[in-house]
Amino acid sequence: MKLKIVVLICALTLAATSSAAPESKKYDVLDLPAIPSELASQSLIYSINKFGDRYFATGQHGHILYSDDGGESWEQAEVPVRSSILDIDFPTPELGWAVGHEGVILHSSDGGKTWVKQYDGLRYGKEGLAYYQALAEADPENENLPYLVEEMEFAISQGADKPLFRVSFPTKDHGYALGAYGMTLETENGGKDWVPVLENIENDGFFHIFDFAPLPGKGKFFASGEAGLLLSIDINEEIAERVENVPWEGSFFTIVNTAKGGLVIGGLRGNMFLTNDVGVTWKTVKKPPTSAIVDSIQLSDGRLVAVGIGGEVLVSKNNGVSFANVPIAGGGQLYTSSGYIYAVAEGPDGTLLLGGPNGIRKVKLPK
């Protein structure tokens, strides 16, 4: 990783003294701070997570919210951009990172109350081009690097149009951000430097990467994306290998670990599959017909919860072999007037926190 950073710095120094491609016009949302709103918790929410005793929700217009009372009330954080924020991670109680549209990466050092911008999609194309041009010059026999140079040239022409969907920090220094068109970034110094790592990923089609889940063993993960993209990732070896045995060639938006070491993936058309051997074999999950499965979690009691974008809440009591549709107190199957659900988190005392176009709702989950 240190070698990669040196290559990146040298490449950027050379690029600055040459006739580089003209910079894309900046997006206003990258320069304007999120507007404080008393209605932020009632507007569009993309993700809900819990770190320690604090809940976080992310949404449109740069909204990052936090709750210290189990989701009963929410405070809005100070955020320097108005990009939609899609995911968040805290490796420690104080240090956090968030990602979203326009390729933005944000950092907090005070437990999520205030944020600063570390990175955005305008830098992705410019810095990525310099980085891969330097690698291609240093390794002219590598046939893949010219394609990555072309990809970065295309990224510059498109501007900051690519969202980052997920962020993960296994430690306070080492993190990854994953997103659209295979966009993958790595840092080993807490976000001071973000380096593209597309050369280590078997994703020649530049498919979107939507989600990931940890595997047994330090630094190992399983990722899912569009067009049946499934990846087995080992950050120790700096490789993400494509899983050849794919149960369906559609998009998979969510992955969840089971209590017995399996993985359940869910996606378009309500399709869900279970593997107990890290993708060597798959079984179709037994479940009622639903809309696309967009989020899933494992509860503290081992049950699995999956939600459909159309408003379905599904529960598995047998480690993902089957799921049943459950009624939700105070609203039946559809928890909002629009019916849509984008995110789910386990709340206190047998509740769920659900996020969607109408904000955050706390509902009772039947036993």
Give domain limits for the chain. 55-117+160-364
Residue 109 CB neighbour total at 10 angstroms: 14
Calpha distance 179→163 (Å, rounded): 6
Residue 367 CB neighbour total at 10 angstroms: 9
272, 287 contact by CB (below 8 A): yes
Q: How far is CA 288 from CA 199, 256, 315, 354, in A?
A: 40, 19, 11, 20
**Residues contacting residue 334 through CB under 8 Å, at least 6 positions apart:** 310, 311
97, 174 contact by CB (below 8 A): no
265, 278 contact by CB (below 8 A): no
Q: How far is CA 84 from CA 2, 88, 332, in A?
A: 31, 12, 29
Closest CA to 171 of 90, 105, 108: 90
Q: How far is CA 53 from CA 42, 85, 94, 109, in A?
A: 22, 21, 12, 17
Q: How far is CA 143 from CA 125, 147, 149, in A?
A: 20, 8, 11
Residue 187 CB neighbour total at 10 angstroms: 22
Question: What is the Cα Rg of the chain in Å?
Answer: 20
Length of the chain: 367
Calpha distance 225→71 (Å, rounded): 30
CATH code matching the domain that covers 55-117+160-364, chosen among 2.130.10.10, 3.40.50.1360, 3.40.50.720, 3.40.50.2020? 2.130.10.10
What was the pLDDT predicted at 16?
41
What was the pLDDT predicted at 28?
85
pTM for the full predicted model:
0.90
Residue type, 16: A
Q: How far is CA 358 from CA 1, 220, 272, in A?
A: 42, 36, 26
Q: How far is CA 255 from CA 8, 248, 265, in A?
A: 33, 14, 4
DSSP 3-state assignment of 88? strand
Closest CA to 293 of 238, 337, 342: 342
3-state helix, strand, coil in the chain (%, to 5): 20, 35, 45
List the chain pLDDT tens, one digit each, 367 residues: 543 433 343 443 334 433 444 445 554 899 999 999 999 999 999 999 999 999 999 999 999 999 999 999 999 999 999 999 999 999 999 999 999 999 999 999 999 999 999 999 999 999 999 999 999 999 999 999 999 999 999 999 999 999 999 999 999 999 999 999 999 999 999 999 999 999 999 999 999 999 999 998 888 999 999 999 999 999 888 899 999 999 999 999 999 999 999 999 999 999 999 999 999 999 999 999 999 999 999 999 999 999 999 999 999 999 999 999 998 754 444 444 457 999 999 999 999 999 999 999 999 998 7
Which H or E element spans position 293?
A: strand 293-298
Q: How far is CA 169 from CA 130, 209, 274, in A?
A: 26, 17, 26
Output the DSSP codes for 90-126. Answer: -SSSS-EEEEEGGG-EEEESSTTSB-EEEE-HHHHHH
Query: Which residue do the tokens 């599959």 mark?
Result: 273
